[in-house]
């Protein structure tokens, strides 16, 4: 399985380094919308979609003004959408047969209607919460305009097998056992991580279970003030959210050599994994001579 790490539209909220923690950063912060494109022998699978084409072309009414203009301020560039990045890699939208969602927030599900033939896998509780539109925040974060054209939903109950120290992990219908849905509620009621086996180790896309790389520091976790505020604003259950962050830290502490954990919005994590992907590609398909500036693989996340 080949794995591509994509940023499917960067968000530029106010706050600079107080939000994204990047040293020396001036002006707005930069938060990724980190999605995965998985190349299987007979199909493509997306993990999250980021913002989609229609979000770029018709941001209102698809996106709530509070997120579009104030809190998140996505840089709506068509070429950064998942469908355009996929086409640059030589694929067609129809090649995507499955999309696995961490959750249905507007910045994760905006590209669903760019892949109308895909089956959409998610936790059952997330689907119920998004459809219910139960609170003013829910009506702003869950945008039916983004997913009303989806025809093939595959919701799963929170019950299943064990994976490391996590329970209720689901094999996904029609997908290989190397792709798992890992319940991580708190940010939303049906929030999940997505585990992907790559060779001898695993990736865990933790979605919005945390937002800042140093939150996964096993001994001295910390978060920027801006992202701490945003997580509290968006959480559905604080105890569950914080408890799952601690479980993720314990996973890093005990199994960091076996599992690489990353979240949806940390740009530094994304760039590290993109560099690792590029190095792996060079090792698999080396040029006749090494390109200038190429170095051997460096440290992993949270090391």
| Confidence bin at 168 (pLDDT 50/70/90) | confident
| Confidence bin at 279 (pLDDT 50/70/90) | confident
pLDDT at residue 24 in the model: 72
The pLDDT of residue 297 is above 60:
no
Mean pLDDT rounded to a whole number for the chain: 93
| Confidence bin at 281 (pLDDT 50/70/90) | confident
Greatest alpha-carbon pair distance for the chain in Å reads 59
The pLDDT of residue 173 is above 80:
yes
Distance from C-alpha of 148 to C-alpha of 159, rounded to nearest angstrom:
27
Task: Read off the pLDDT of each residue in 254-279 and give the average, rounded to a whole number.
Answer: 96
pLDDT at residue 245 in the model: 98
Ranges 25-29, 131-135, 163-167, most confident: 131-135
The pLDDT of residue 170 is above 90:
no
pLDDT tens profile 37-72 = 999 999 999 999 999 999 999 999 999 999 999 999
| Confidence bin at 179 (pLDDT 50/70/90) | very high
Distance from C-alpha of 94 to C-alpha of 211, rounded to nearest angstrom:
32
Answer positive or negative: Cα dihedral of 245, 38, 152, 87.
positive
Lowest-confidence region among 54-58, 246-250, 277-281? 277-281
Q: Work out the percent of the chain whose per-residue pLDDT is above 90.
A: 85
| Confidence bin at 165 (pLDDT 50/70/90) | confident
Class of residue 289 by CB neighbours under 10 A (exposed 0-12, middle 13-18, buried 19+): exposed
The pLDDT of residue 289 is above 60:
no
Buried (b) or exposed (e) across 7-35, using 16+ Cβ within 10 A? Answer: bbbbbbbebbeebbbeeebeebbbbbbbb
Task: Read off the pLDDT of each residue in 85-90 and give the average, rounded to a whole number.
Answer: 97
pLDDT at residue 291 in the model: 54
pLDDT at residue 180 in the model: 96
The pLDDT of residue 197 is above 90:
yes
End-to-end CA distance of the chain: 25
Q: What HEC string does the chain produce?
A: CEEEEEECCCECCCCCHHHHCCCCCCCCCCECCEEEEEEECCEEEEECCECCHHHHHCHHHHCCHHHHHHHCCECCCHHHCHHHHHHHCCCCHHHEEEEECCCCCHHHHCCHHHCCCCEEEEEHHHHHHHHHCCCHHHHHHCCHHHHCCCCCEEEECCCCEEECCEEEEEECCCCCCCEEEEECCCCCCCCEEEEEEECCEEEEECCCCCCCHHHHCCCCCCCCHHHHHHHHHHCCCHHHHHHHHHHHHHHHHHHCCCEEEECCCCHHHHHHHHHHHHHHHHHHCCCCCCCCCCCCCCCCCCC
Q: Which domains does the chain have, with CATH numbers?
A: 2-18+25-284 (3.60.15.10)
Distance from C-alpha of 155 to C-alpha of 78, rounded to nearest angstrom:
29
The pLDDT of residue 79 is above 80:
yes
| Confidence bin at 282 (pLDDT 50/70/90) | confident
Distance from C-alpha of 268 to C-alpha of 271, rounded to nearest angstrom:
5
pLDDT at residue 194 in the model: 98
pLDDT at residue 26 in the model: 74
């Amino acid at each position: 399985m080949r794995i591509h790490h994509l940023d499917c539209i960067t968000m530029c909220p106010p706050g600079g380094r107080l939000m994204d923690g990047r040293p020396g950063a001036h002006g707005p912060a930069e938060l990724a919308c980190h999605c995965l494109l998985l190349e299987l022998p007979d199909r493509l699978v997306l993990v999250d979609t980021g913002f989609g084409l229609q979000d770029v072309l018709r941001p209102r009414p698809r996106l709530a003004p509070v997120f579009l203009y104030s809190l998140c301020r996505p840089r709506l560039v068509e070429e950064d959408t998942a469908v355009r990045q996929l086409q640059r890699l030589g694929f067609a939208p129809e090649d995507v047969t499955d999309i696995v969602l961490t959750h249905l927030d507007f910045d994760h599900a905006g590209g669903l209607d760019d892949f109308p033939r895909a089956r959409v896998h998610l936790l059952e509780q997330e689907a119920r919460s998004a459809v219910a539109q139960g609170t003013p925040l829910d009506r702003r974060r869950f945008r039916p305009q983004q997913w009303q054209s989806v025809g093939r939903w595959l919701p799963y109950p929170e019950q299943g097998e064990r994976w490391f120290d996590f329970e209720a992990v689901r094999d996904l219908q029609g997908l290989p056992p190397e792709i798992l849905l890992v319940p991580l509620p708190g940010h939303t009621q049906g929030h999940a991580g997505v585990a992907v086996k790559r060779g001898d180790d695993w990736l865990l896309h933790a979605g919005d279970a945390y937002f800042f790389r140093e939150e996964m520091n096993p001994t001295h976790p910390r978060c920027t003030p801006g992202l701490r505020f945003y997580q509290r604003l968006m959480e559905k259950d604080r105890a569950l959210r914080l408890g799952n962050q601690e479980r993720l830290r314990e996973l890093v502490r005990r199994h960091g050599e076996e599992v690489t954990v990353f979240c949806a919005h940390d740009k530094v994590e994304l760039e590290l994994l993109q560099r690792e992907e590029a190095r792996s590609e060079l090792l698999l398909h080396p040029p006749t001579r090494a390109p200038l500036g190429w170095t051997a693989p460096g440290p992993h996340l949270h090391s």
